[in-house]
């Protein structure tokens, strides 16, 4: 079975001290107990990228990421961070196209395509997030919508490039405080569609949106799901460690 990716984005949360404490707790735990068959990753805010990387240490099994990056390498783009800058700060993953960025910051299929290309150009792993609104879901358009998002960002890649991409399916209606977890039944068709398009071709097909300690094992059991992308449940280190244990048990089963 393929490696299970289990990671968290902190979104716009945590001070440097909080970020360092979480990272040092994780580092110490993994030194004792590295979960087999699991790829951990953490995506702090830009302000904490380098600090978290320093705490995790060189050669850490935890992949560090950023929540966004510009498609240009440098230049007059006030307020933006480039992929080379993210890499310089220690990042190895670039999260691209989270629904919050699409909704509030003008991220489009075209900008996600440019950002995926920029990440690959510099040897980083693009983590492409896709997901539909409740309106699209209620109209029965989920699979078509998410395939359009994914293909729009990925269809120009060759086989080797695609093999370095991780895709996270995160239905908008399932994310955050206002979201509710997707049921297994609701996820079978979208993951079948993603599996048909990308199964065995990308580095991972993750589920995200209200993942918690009660539903994680079942979510990992859905066909084509090879990991979890988690917000709230993983912001407390204990929650994240428990998710790693659940994933390890699943990988061994
Ligand atoms: P959540 O966030 O786990 O807190 O719902 C998920 C996400 O936005 O990736």
Is the pLDDT confidence value at 93 over 80?
yes
> Where would I find the beta strands (DSSP E) of the chain?
4-9, 38-43, 63-66, 93-96, 125-130, 166-169, 204-208, 227-230
What is the Å distance from ligand 1's center to 97 Cα?
13
Cβ atoms 224, 201 nearer than 8 A: no
pLDDT, tens digit, 9 for 90 and up, residues 118-144: 999 999 999 999 999 999 999 999 999
Q: Which of 170, 224, 248, 250 is catalytic?
A: 170
Kindly state if the Cβ of 173 falls inside 6 Å of ligand 1.
no
Q: In 3D, which of 84, 78, 26 has the Cα closest to residue 56?
A: 26
Kindly state if the Cβ of 68 falls inside 6 Å of ligand 1.
no
Q: If you search the block for the tokens 């859905």, which residue do you land on?
A: 222
Please give the structure tokens belonging to residue 93: 């993953």
- The residue to mutate among 68, 229, 234, having the most atoms of ligand 1 within 8 angstroms of its beta carbon, is 229
**Ligand 1, closest atom to CA 232?**
4
pTM for the predicted model, two decimal places: 0.98
pLDDT, position 2 = 80
What is the Å distance from ligand 1's center to 90 Cα?
23
Kindly state if the Cβ of 230 falls inside 6 Å of ligand 1.
yes
CA 58 to chain centre: 22
Kindly state if the Cβ of 96 falls inside 6 Å of ligand 1.
no
Count CB neighbours of 70 within 10 A.
20
pLDDT, tens digit, 9 for 90 and up, residues 99-111: 999 999 999 999 9
pLDDT, tens digit, 9 for 90 and up, residues 36-89: 999 999 999 999 999 999 999 999 999 999 999 999 999 999 999 999 999 999
pLDDT, position 1 = 62
Please give the structure tokens belonging to residue 92: 């190895």
Kindly state if the Cβ of 232 falls inside 6 Å of ligand 1.
yes
pLDDT, position 205 = 98
**Ligand 1, closest atom to CA 211?**
3
| C-alpha–C-alpha distance, residues 114 and 133, integer Å | 23
| C-alpha–C-alpha distance, residues 167 and 229, integer Å | 10
**Ligand 1, closest atom to CA 100?**
8
| 156: CB partners within 8 A, 6+ apart | 113, 117
What is the Å distance from ligand 1's center to 242 Cα?
16
Annotation marks residue 170 as catalytic: yes
Q: Give the residue, by CA position, lying nearest to ligand 1 atom 2.
A: 231
Is the pLDDT confidence value at 17 over 90?
yes
Look over the chain and give the mean of its residue pLDDT values, rounded to a whole number.
Answer: 97
């Amino acid at each position: 079975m393929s490696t299970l990716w289990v990671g968290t984005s902190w979104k716009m949360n945590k001070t440097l001290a909080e970020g360092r404490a979480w990272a040092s707790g994780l580092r110490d735990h993994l030194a004792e107990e590295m979960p087999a068959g699991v790829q951990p990753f953490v995506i702090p805010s830009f302000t904490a990228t380098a600090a978290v990387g320093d705490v995790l240490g060189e050669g850490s099994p935890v992949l560090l990421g950023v929540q966004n990056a510009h498609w240009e390498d440098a230049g007059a783009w006030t307020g933006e961070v480039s992929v080379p800058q993210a890499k310089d700060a220690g990042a190895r993953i670039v999260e691209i196209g989270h629904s919050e960025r699409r909704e509030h910051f003008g991220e489009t299929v075209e900008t996600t395509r440019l950002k995926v290309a920029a990440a690959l150009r510099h040897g980083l792993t693009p983590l492409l997030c896709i997901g539909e609104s409740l309106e699209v879901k209620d109209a029965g358009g989920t699979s078509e919508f998410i395939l359009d998002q994914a293909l729009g960002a990925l269809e120009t890649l060759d086989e080797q490039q695609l093999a370095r991409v991780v895709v996270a399916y995160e239905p908008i209606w399932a994310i955050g405080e206002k979201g509710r977890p997707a049921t297994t039944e609701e996820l079978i068709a979208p993951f079948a569609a993603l599996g048909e398009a990308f199964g065995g071709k990308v580095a991972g097909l993750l589920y995200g949106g209200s993942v918690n300690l009660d539903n994680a094992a079942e979510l990992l059991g859905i066909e084509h799901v090879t990991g979890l992308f988690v917000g709230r449940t993983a912001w407390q280190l204990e929650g994240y460690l428990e998710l790693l244990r659940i994933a390890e048990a699943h990988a061994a089963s």
